[in-house]
Amino acid sequence: MTQALRREHAQFWHEVLAAGPTRFFAAHPGDDQRHELRQALPDGLLAAATGRPHGLHLLIAGAVVALLHRYTHAESVTIGQGAPIGGGIDGTGPDALIPLRCAVFGTDTFTDVVNRLRTAVFDSYAHQNFDVGVLRHGAPYQVAVRVEGLHVEPDPEHVPLLLDVAATGELTARAAGIGKDVVARLLRHLTTLLDQVLACPGLVLDEVDLLTEADIRLWERCNDTARPIGPHRTVPAMFAHAVATRPDARALLSPDGVLTYRELDERTDSLAAAILERGAGRVAVIAERSPGLVIAILAVLKAGAAYVPIDPSLPAERIDFVLRDSGASMVLRGDTEVPSRPLPAVTVRPEDPAYVIYTSGSTGEPKGVVVEHRSVANLLVGTQRAYPLGPDDVILHKTSISFDASVWELFGWLAGGGALALLPPGAERDPDAVIDAVERYEVTAMDLVPQMLGALADVVVARNAIDRMRTLRLVSSGSDELTPDHVRRFRRALRQTRLVNFYGPTEATVQVTHFAVGDVAGERVPIGGPLDNTRLHVVDRLLRPQAAGVPGELCVAGDSLARGYLNRPDLTAERFVPAPFLGEARVYRTGDLCRRLDDGTLEFLGRIDQQVKVRGYRVEPGEIEHQLRACPGVDDAIVVATGGSTRDRRLVAYVTGAQPPHSDDVLRRLREVLPAYMVPAAVHRLAAFPVTVSGKVDRARLAASAAG
């Protein structure tokens, strides 16, 4: 072989391998068992292949490529193909398999994929006699296809999933490192796809319906969540019931002392009466965490008004915008003193607004989300049913009132007749202050964003403060992605404390899913299943339900939905939409990418709008972040894209850890498991990620933190 020809072969295989493996499943401990599953393929398959092994290979491999595209949204899919009998491709080794790469798009027809695949197969034959193995960095594929009579019989130990097609059309799946349920699902979906594309080869891939009867039953079972809310369907009604039941029990704990339910009721009545005299409507509450803040919010609700929570630490410009946009009739500062007076009878209905909370908008202006009492009551009753709190329980209020996670803190204690303890203002980011508050007030339940959860756990271990946290029995986490590393750090510090992963957008009243977290072994912590009276749908771009294992946009339906956006009917109509395929009159489109697992739980995969294109490839930063977290010494990771045009865009990674590895070591490991276009151009090590007031990672400040 001439040097020029060798370079030509090397360049061809470099391009094939550059896309890296198409990862449709994540390995978990315990999945290393070997097993076989058999599947009868559609009757018309052999006829469509015209009796030729090569035609059979193209049809099966084309269906696999199309299916992996649906599973991963990848626009370039790499699978393995059997080495041709007598073909003599060098370097295939004992596996007798070679990589086969095919571009694939949702707008393609199955015929497009097969034609493209045929070209790719013949191109691979044209570049025989080259040692492909010398170019490999890790396994180049997770799935391989071999056809009897066409390909050399390979050693199945060298590929996680080998699809072996007999001349009769029967398919045998030989797997290692993949659970039987995952393989069974793939075979089920493969047959479903083949049935449709053989009947109509011109069918667009995005229009192939992978739903099977098993998927429909799973979908229906997971959304069977209808439960009675009970007689107390507004916050004032829940509070009145607690006051009547335990008037002299402690209700509010703070550095200022203790208020009983009766005392809190009297103070909120007086302020509510004063609010009524001045007219209700919407009332802005601008106050730091204090008894006066809690009194103000409860008083607004008792008066039949909706509160507009505003953190006083926010920039003046944003505070002014919220006050103008909300049309607040008055402002409470949390220190309002009024003479004792009776509260006239006020009718507060479940459909009345409870609060208007402002979230960041894509246009740069905040948008107000209007949430009704029935949605708040559904949240409180649903979480109480799933994770009961009683009269002896104490919830710690630590979240800024400008963020919806504060809603459960402010009212979650009412359902069980417990108490609310207040963390001093400004202490929400201080793990030592949180430990002091837990010990002082004997806190039993609190909510922590993942970043604070990890930081608190580390300090508990470092300070040997585990005994000081002995009363804490429930920690919920949400607002950001909870990673396995967060869980492991939490377990080291608070093994006996129950940890629950919650997920939910502001537009669906704080949280809509829950997952009781054990010892996490996989790459992701599931977000779980729906709370009461909430239905969750993973859908395609046409709002059709996706099959289990297939990513799609998460849509929320049911009693948890907000009324919509204040003064924004256009945006409300855009995000809260009818969904006839789902049988729903109204769903909220979250913009989050999720998939349903075989047991019905949901996995969060990232924001749809965070997907980026780099050098023509579509990249999901979350996949790179998972690989970074697997590097020894890395606790957490964030990947962002910088640069304007696709041509100039590059990926930059930020990692934290007590002893993070050198950037070169991180990049070296990533090159072993990721294609070249997914390896970040730079890795920056930070002591901690910058966070917003709510405790979420502030991505806009990452570059400045790295420079500092």
**Is the predicted pLDDT of residue 524 greater than 70, yes or no?**
yes
What average pLDDT does this structure show over 553-570?
96
Question: pLDDT by residue (tens digit) across 609-652?
Answer: 766 767 656 677 877 887 888 888 888 889 988 875 545 678 99
Query: What's the pLDDT tens digit per position in 225-277?
Result: 999 999 999 999 999 999 999 999 999 999 999 999 999 999 999 999 999 99
Which residues 6+ apart lie within 8 Å of 412 measured at CB?
380, 383, 384, 389, 395, 445
pLDDT score of 44 more than 80: yes
Instruction: Return the pLDDT at 693.
Output: 65
pLDDT score at 318: 85
Q: Rounded CA gap, 391 and 417, in Å?
A: 5
Domains of the chain in sequence order: 3-210 (3.30.559.30), 533-609 (2.30.38.10), 611-707 (3.30.300.30)
Output the DSSP codes for 553-608.
EEEEEETT---EETT-HHHHHHHEEEEGGGTEEEEEEEEEEEEE-TTS-EEEEEEG
pLDDT of residue 621: 82
**Cα–Cα distance measured from residue 429 to residue 694, given in angstroms and rounded to the nearest whole number:** 10
Digit-coded pLDDT (tens) for 462-479: 999 999 999 999 999 988
Average pLDDT of the segment spanning 439-456: 94
Q: Region 437-444: what's the mean pLDDT?
A: 98
Report pLDDT for 385: 96
pLDDT in tens, 602-614: 999 887 876 676 7
- Determine how many CB atoms are found less than 10 A away from the CB of residue 384: 18
541: nearest Cα among 191, 10, 70: 70
Please state, in angstroms and rounded to a whole number, the distance separating the CA atoms of residues 137 and 585.
50
Quick one: pLDDT at residue 694?
Answer: 63
Task: Please name which of 202, 161, 199, 8 lies closest in space to residue 71, comparing C-alpha atoms.
Answer: 161
Q: What digits encode the pLDDT tens for the residues 406-424?
A: 999 999 999 999 999 999 9
Is pLDDT above 90 for 22?
no
Give buried/exposed letters for 171-183 (b at 16+ CB in 10 A, else e): bbbbbbbbbeebb
Q: 513-522: b or e for each residue (b if 16 or more CB lie within 10 Å)?
A: bbbebeebee
Alpha-carbon span 112 to 107, nearest angstrom: 10
Mean pLDDT across the chain: 88
**Nearest Cα to Cα of residue 474 among 414, 514, 523, 513:** 514
Q: What is the pLDDT of residues 142-197, one digit of tens each?
A: 899 999 989 888 877 778 899 999 988 889 999 987 888 889 999 999 999 999 99
CB atoms near residue 313 (< 10 Å)? 12
pLDDT at residue 93 in the model = 45
Predicted pLDDT at 20:
67
Bridge-based pairing state of the strands 498-503 and 445-447: unpaired
Cβ proximity of 487 and 516 under 8 Å: no
| CA pair distance 445, 447, nearest whole angstrom | 7
pLDDT at residue 707 greater than cutoff 80:
no
Contact status, residue 361 vs residue 506, Cβ threshold 8 Å: no
Question: Cα–Cα distances in Å, from 306 out to 137, 235, 261, 557?
Answer: 59, 11, 22, 23
Spatial contact of 582 and 557, defined as CB atoms under 8 Å apart: yes
Phi then psi for 617, rounded to 5 degrees?
-100, 140
Q: What pLDDT is stored for residue 575 in this prediction?
A: 95
